[in-house]
């Protein structure tokens, strides 16, 4: 698929690109270099000379190549793309033109990230994921700095250092890395019940995304849209992926962390390079100011959501990511987001967590990026005209002209002049009260929405939450902390607390009387997401010499029409396999270099010799067994069905040329040119379902 025409932002970046695929090696001053393997010395074995300016420059730059990593969201991946509104329906609510001009494509840069781990941690840890979007609008840069959870752990930003200190590796031994299964985090949770709603999300499958492309994003806070009359409307922002919301299972996550710690960032990069551009729909929940107090919770409380059943999400546009960065450090690492980067038509509320973020993000970038001029870095530079009286400082790239650098002035003709239109004006509201340190009473219900989330889960999702609590708390060394967390869970739901207690060897807590005032919200269950496409799903096809080449080609072509990706895995990587009836099949990878956890499905083709070789290969047998265990689509045709039997796949298999589907296992005895189209059709359906959840027979909560 051809890439889209370069956006205005890409054209702006062209002036900063330096190709390393042509030209001569030079110093930073542009002096050509003819030797860079040996420093200047006195004789062959004499002392090195400081006058070797090239060597000194080279090593000095190397010594300064690292900048402080982000305290949180250190590990990330990014991409460029565009946002396009569907229509002008938001024009009555906001003057932000990028949201209200149909057909207008606003360039964006999106950075996805994990929160707790360092830059060197794995992608598939149990964690919140960042979902930050920089819109390069004609009215200035707007940053929607969100997460894949719609809620956060705390209500007031003053507690943010405490929370992060608790979830980070413990200070005495710097363990564990990128994990929440340790004492300090759960001690904090047991003493801060405001964390419970987000903790429920963290223990759910939402914390284990299959890919960034299959992950929701949320603005978290309640913001405010402002129209041309200065009228405000409360707004919550939602990103919904076109491919649906899908997750890994915990056993996969732990194995992928060893097999491919770059799993999510690789997936994003590869999809864009292949032309399978990720897409999300932007939706908004709008609340008139007159309805501010009509909810059972406070709109300014970042630990609460507005259930979609109360205020539906209104689709307003789509975002497509279609270009990978040219350089990870220059773009993905140096991109600087800030919740206070808003444009006319978007404003803040008095959410106490948002207010702190509006201070903290700018403060963070000053130390990370070396001074106040980080907005001039190419990835951060706005497309809108930038003129002001700020000057000097580290990293000043602009060359201001003129004698004046102050306002008001006559020497510069009064410029830069104040604007009288298309400006950002703060929403006007009356604020009155005493200076106090006190949380609003409307912020003090910490259990109702955590309970709502629990009630909204399917049986299999609920089972995963219980298993997650058991795993996390099972690693907590202080028994009293485990008991304290179970006591808090008992105030969310007695059955949840009882099952977790049982798995931890703790006594069942006494049932508490709770105010069950919020109904379940079906929108919170991932099993209600889109499951109608096999597009971009990766299928491992296991083969050896003697494989049914014609059958494989028919299957591969058919799956390509569904947008799925089939990779041939063989005992030895590279080269080709000989076909049982002639022909050859190219091998993509060696089975031993991959694993079932890196694929969405597995299929075994016909070819008696091929199947016999695979059956004698313990790695290949385990590959099928593990995929089946993880509830993935498993398929076989012809003699390939025998490998499923060897692997212990306990399903009904085809005994004839008809296609049999049994709990996500698709089989037929037909092969070669007689392989029925129905086999590929049914296999694509099974892959689109993400997993065969009905194959999971473990006990689930009542």
Q: What percent of the chain has pLDDT over 70?
A: 99
Q: Is 327 an active-site residue?
A: no
pLDDT in tens, 646-693: 999 989 999 888 999 999 999 999 999 999 999 999 999 999 999 999
Last residue of one domain, picked from the residues 376, 407, 430: 376
Q: Do the domain assignments include residue 475?
A: yes
At 555, the pLDDT band (50, 70, 90 cuts) reads very high
Instruction: Give the span between the Cα atoms of 519 and 308, in whole angstroms.
Output: 12
Under DSSP, the state recorded for 297 is S
Question: What's the whole-number average pLDDT of the chain?
Answer: 95
Q: Do the domain assignments include residue 459?
A: yes
CATH code: domain of residue 629? 3.40.50.880
Query: Do 349 and 211 sit in the same domain of this protein?
Result: yes
Strand partners, 260: none
Q: In the predicted model, is pLDDT for residue 4 greater than 90?
A: no
Q: In the predicted model, is pLDDT for residue 222 greater than 50?
A: yes
Tokens at residue 562, please?
């569904």
Query: Do 549 and 520 sit in the same domain of this protein?
Result: no
Q: Do the domain assignments include residue 40?
A: no
Q: Do the domain assignments include residue 361?
A: yes
The helix (H) or strand (E) run that includes residue 114 is strand 106-114
Q: Which domain holds residue 122?
A: 76-376
Instruction: Give the span between the Cα atoms of 588 and 100, in whole angstroms.
Output: 46
Q: Do the domain assignments include residue 456?
A: yes
Q: In the predicted model, is pLDDT for residue 699 greater than 60?
A: no
DSSP string, 563-602: T-EEEEEESS-SSEEEBBTB-EEE--EEGGG--GGGSSEE
pLDDT of residue 700: 44
Structural domains of the chain, count = 3
CATH code: domain of residue 223? 2.40.180.10
Query: Do 498 and 560 sit in the same domain of this protein?
Result: no
Interacting residues of 232 by C-beta distance below 8 A, sequence separation 6+: 224, 225, 226, 289, 347, 427, 429
Query: Do 637 and 507 sit in the same domain of this protein?
Result: no
pLDDT in tens, 374-413: 999 999 999 999 999 999 999 999 999 999 999 999 999 9
Q: In the predicted model, is pLDDT for residue 516 greater than 50?
A: yes
Query: Do 665 and 560 sit in the same domain of this protein?
Result: yes
The answer to whether 498 and 508 have CB atoms below 8 angstroms apart is: yes
pLDDT in tens, 202-218: 999 999 999 999 999 99
SS (H, E, C) 129-182: EEEEEEEEECCEEEEEEEECCCCCCCCCHHHHHHHHHHHCCECCCCECCCCCCC
The answer to whether 344 and 99 have CB atoms below 8 angstroms apart is: no
Query: Do 296 and 339 sit in the same domain of this protein?
Result: yes
Last residue of one domain, picked from the residues 317, 348, 376: 376
pLDDT in tens, 566-618: 999 999 988 999 998 889 999 999 999 999 999 999 999 999 999 999 999 99
Q: Do the domain assignments include residue 399?
A: no
CATH code: domain of residue 462? 1.20.1370.20
Query: Do 604 and 508 sit in the same domain of this protein?
Result: no
Mean pLDDT, residues 149-171 taken together: 97
Could you say which of 54, 73, 246, 663 is catalytic? 73
Could you say which of 54, 141, 147, 338 is catalytic? 147
Query: Do 517 and 602 sit in the same domain of this protein?
Result: no
Query: Do 351 and 453 sit in the same domain of this protein?
Result: no
Q: What percent of the chain has pLDDT over 90?
A: 91
Interacting residues of 69 by C-beta distance below 8 A, sequence separation 6+: 118, 119, 368
| Polymer length of the chain | 702
Q: Do the domain assignments include residue 22?
A: no
Q: Is 73 an active-site residue?
A: yes
Query: Do 240 and 206 sit in the same domain of this protein?
Result: yes
Last residue of one domain, picked from the residues 349, 376, 403: 376
pLDDT in tens, 564-579: 999 999 999 889 999 9
Read off the pTM.
0.95
At 697, the pLDDT band (50, 70, 90 cuts) reads low
Q: Do the domain assignments include residue 677?
A: yes
Q: Are strands 140-147 and 601-604 parallel, antiparallel or unpaired?
A: unpaired
Query: Do 519 and 556 sit in the same domain of this protein?
Result: no
Mean pLDDT, residues 440-455 taken together: 96
486, 400, 479, 491: which is closest to 451 by C-alpha? Answer: 491
pLDDT in tens, 228-241: 999 999 999 999 99
Query: Do 455 and 560 sit in the same domain of this protein?
Result: no
DSSP string, 363-427: HHHHHHTTSTTGGGSTTT--SS----S---STT------SS--SSS-STTTTPSPPPSSS---PP
Mean pLDDT, residues 475-483 taken together: 97
């Amino acid at each position: 698929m051809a890439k889209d025409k370069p956006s205005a932002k890409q054209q702006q970046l062209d002036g900063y690109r330096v190709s390393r695929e042509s030209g001569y090696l030079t110093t930073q001053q542009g002096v050509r270099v003819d030797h860079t393997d040996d420093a200047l010395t006195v004789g062959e074995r004499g002392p090195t000379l400081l006058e070797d300016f090239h060597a000194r420059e080279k090593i000095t730059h190397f010594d300064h190549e690292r900048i402080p990593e982000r305290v949180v969201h250190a590990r990330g991946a990014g991409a460029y793309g565009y946002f396009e509104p569907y229509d002008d329906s938001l024009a009555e609510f906001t003057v932000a033109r990028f949201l209200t001009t149909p057909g207008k494509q606003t360039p964006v840069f999106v950075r996805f990230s994990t929160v707790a781990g360092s830059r060197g941690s794995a992608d598939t840890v149990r964690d919140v994921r960042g979902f930050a979007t920089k819109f390069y609008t004609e009215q200035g840069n707007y940053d929607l700095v969100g997460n894949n959870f719609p809620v956060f752990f705390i209500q007031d930003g003053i507690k943010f250092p405490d929370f992060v200190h608790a979830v980070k590796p413990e200070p005495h031994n710097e363990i564990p890395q990128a994990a929440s299964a340790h004492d300090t985090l759960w001690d904090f949770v047991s003493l801060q019940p405001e964390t419970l709603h987000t903790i429920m999300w963290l223990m759910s499958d939402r914390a284990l995304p299959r890919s960034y492309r299959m992950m929701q994003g949320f603005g978290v806070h309640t913001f405010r849209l402002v129209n041309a009359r200065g009228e405000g409307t409360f707004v919550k922002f939602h990103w919904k992926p076109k491919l649906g919301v899908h997750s890994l299972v915990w056993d996969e996550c732990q194995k992928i962390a060893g097999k491919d710690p770059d799993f999510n960032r690789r997936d994003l990069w590869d999809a864009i390079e292949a032309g399978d551009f990720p897409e999300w729909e932007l939706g908004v929940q709008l609340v008139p100011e007159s309805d501010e107090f009509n909810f059972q919770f406070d709109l300014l409380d970042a630990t609460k959501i507005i259930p979609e059943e109360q205020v539906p999400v209104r689709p307003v546009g789509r975002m497509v990511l279609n270009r990978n960065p040219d350089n990870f450090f220059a773009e993905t690492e140096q991109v600087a987001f800030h919740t206070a980067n808003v444009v006319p038509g978007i404003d803040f509320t008095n959410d106490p967590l948002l207010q702190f973020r509006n201070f903290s993000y700018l403060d963070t970038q000053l130390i990370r990026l070396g001074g106040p001029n980080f907005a001039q870095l190419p990835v951060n530079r706005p497309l809108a005209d930038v003129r002001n009286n700020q000057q000097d400082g580290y990293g000043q790239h602009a060359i201001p002209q003129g004698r004046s650098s102050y306002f008001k002035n006559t020497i510069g003709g009064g410029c830069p002049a104040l604007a009288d239109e298309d400006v950002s004006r703060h929403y006007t509201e009356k604020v009155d009260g005493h200076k106090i340190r006190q949380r609003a009473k409307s912020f003090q219900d910490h259990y109702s929405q955590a309970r709502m989330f629990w009630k909204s889960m399917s049986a299999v999702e609920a089972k995963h939450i219980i298993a997650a609590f058991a795993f996390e708390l099972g690693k907590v060394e202080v028994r009293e902390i485990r008991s304290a967390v179970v006591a808090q869970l008992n105030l969310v739901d007695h059955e949840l607390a009882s099952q977790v207690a049982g798995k931890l060897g703790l006594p069942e807590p006494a049932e508490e009387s709770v105010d069950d005032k919020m109904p379940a919200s079906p929108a919170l269950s991932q099993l209600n997401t889109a499951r109608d496409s096999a597009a971009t799903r990766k299928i491992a096809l296991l083969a050896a010499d003697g494989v049914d080449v014609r059958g494989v080609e028919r299957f591969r072509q058919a799956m390509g029409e569904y947008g799925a990706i089939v990779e041939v895995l063989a005992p030895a990587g590279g080269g080709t396999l000989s076909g049982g009836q002639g022909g050859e099949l190219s091998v993509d990878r060696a089975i031993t270099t991959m694993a079932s956890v890196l694929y969405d499905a597995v299929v075994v083709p016909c070819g008696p010799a091929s199947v016999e070789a695979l059956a004698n290969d313990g790695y290949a047998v385990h590959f099928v067994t593990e995929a089946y265990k993880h509830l993935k689509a498993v398929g076989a045709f012809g003699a390939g069905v025998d490998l499923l039997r060897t692997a212990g796949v306990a399903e009904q298999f085809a005994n004839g040329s008809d296609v049999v589907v049994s709990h996500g296992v698709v089989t037929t005895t037909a092969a070669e040119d007689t392989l029925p189209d129905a086999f590929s059709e049914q296999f694509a359906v099974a892959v689109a379902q993400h997993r065969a959840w009905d194959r999971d027979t473990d006990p689930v909560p009542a």
